[in-house]
């Protein structure tokens, strides 16, 4: 395993990390989480990503229970959470969901720490931008989480370049803790924001990236070339919004064209897709997901494939995927 600095900070994250969206609680119970966290840790992974909204808080509970059973030293791993969506889905939701106001944020961090069973998280993100809350209020609340020792670094997820820059300048002007990382979707078919929109931010403020969805929700594994297989993510009712994108004919044809390249490199399509992301030096870590140990082990094999990605191979991959990338 190799390690990279998280943006301008001194924190080192493993090149690959393990996330919990969709899987924890829904597909992965505490026993399975213990098994996969242990395997990931043994392979050198030190960053485990989560969010308040994942399984409405249950994902944090599963990860927290697994971490307690594993008994690792707290300084040996990095754990994250994210806030915006909230946990309330019915009844009075004012100030309790789809917001980044101070009241919600300061109560949300306390709730997450209870579910994790931790006294602090290492990374905390604003899960989406909130156009209805003054950005000064959000920046102040996030900075206070760090000042209070409840989180160590803060950042954003799926914010625009202008929103990130505004937050950074407000923090700089008022001597508050600045955002150091962004968590964007990034894969072979989704590149615009990472490669173009954020381009100036890497040099201007040192922005780090903890990217998600390296396999485009499974599309880049090739599993959707013949439709939606039973047991796949797209077969879940809660993920129905992904089906049209995952079964898109042009995208699946591109995946078919990538298969021979993966084979030439001695890897799978999934390994090729993950390896391609690691070639971007702006990415601090690639968040991978797995519902079973075999998937985690396959993902780890991407590191060997990355070493075989020559400029010529990268150009071949780009010729196939860039025309379809968003």
Which residues form the catalytic set? 54
User: How far apart are alpha carbons 180 and 172 in whole angstroms?
Assistant: 12
| 62 membership: H or E segment, kind and range | helix 58-70
Residues 6+ positions from 253 with CB-CB distance below 8 Å: none
**Cα–Cα separations (whole angstroms), residue 255 to 85, 233, 258:** 33, 18, 5
Q: What is the C-alpha to C-alpha distance for residues 306 and 275, in angstroms, rounded to an integer?
A: 5
CA distance 136 to 140: 6
Q: Which residues have C-beta within 8 Å of that of residue 111, sequence separation ≥ 6?
A: 52, 57, 87
Q: How far is CA 198 from CA 64, 155, 161, 169, 202, in A?
A: 33, 14, 6, 15, 7
Q: What is the DSSP string of 84-148?
A: SS-S--SS--TTTSS---HHHHHHHHHHHHHHHT-S-EEEEEESS--TTS-HHHHHHHHHHHHHT
């Amino acid at each position: 395993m190799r390690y990279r600095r998280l943006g301008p900070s001194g924190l080192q994250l493993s090149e690959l990390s393990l996330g919990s969206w969709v899987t924890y609680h829904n597909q992965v119970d505490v026993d399975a989480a213990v098994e996969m966290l242990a395997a990931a840790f043994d392979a050198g992974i030190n960053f485990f990503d989560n969010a308040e909204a994942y399984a409405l808080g249950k994902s944090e509970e599963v990860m927290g229970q697994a971490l307690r059973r594993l008994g690792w030293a707290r300084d040996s791993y990095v754990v994250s959470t994210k806030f915006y969506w909230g946990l309330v889905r019915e009844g009075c939701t004012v100030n309790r969901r789809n917001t980044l106001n101070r009241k919600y944020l300061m109560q949300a961090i306390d709730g997450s720490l209870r579910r994790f069973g931790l006294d602090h998280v290492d990374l905390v993100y604003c899960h989406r931008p909130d156009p209805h809350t003054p950005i000064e209020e959000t920046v102040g609340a996030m900075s206070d989480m760090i000042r209070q020792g409840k989180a160590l670094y803060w950042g954003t997820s799926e914010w625009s370049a202008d929103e990130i820059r505004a937050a950074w300048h407000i923090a700089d002007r008022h001597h508050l803790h600045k955002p150091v990382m962004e968590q964007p979707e990034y894969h072979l078919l989704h590149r615009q924001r990472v490669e173009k929109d954020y381009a100036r931010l890497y040099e201007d403020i040192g922005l780090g990236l903890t990217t998600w969805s390296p396999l485009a929700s499974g599309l880049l594994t090739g599993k959707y070339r013949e439709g939606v297989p039973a047991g796949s993510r797209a077969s879940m009712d809660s993920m129905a919004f992904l089906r049209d994108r995952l079964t898109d004919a042009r995208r699946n044809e591109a995946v078919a064209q990538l298969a021979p390249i993966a084979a030439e490199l001695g890897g799978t399509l999934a390994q090729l897709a993950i390896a391609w992301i690691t070639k971007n030096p702006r990415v601090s870590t690639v968040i991978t997901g797995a519902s079973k140990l075999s998937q985690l082990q396959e993902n780890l094999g991407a590191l060997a494939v990355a070493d075989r990605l020559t400029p010529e191979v990268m150009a071949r991959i780009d010729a196939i995927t860039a025309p379809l990338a968003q």
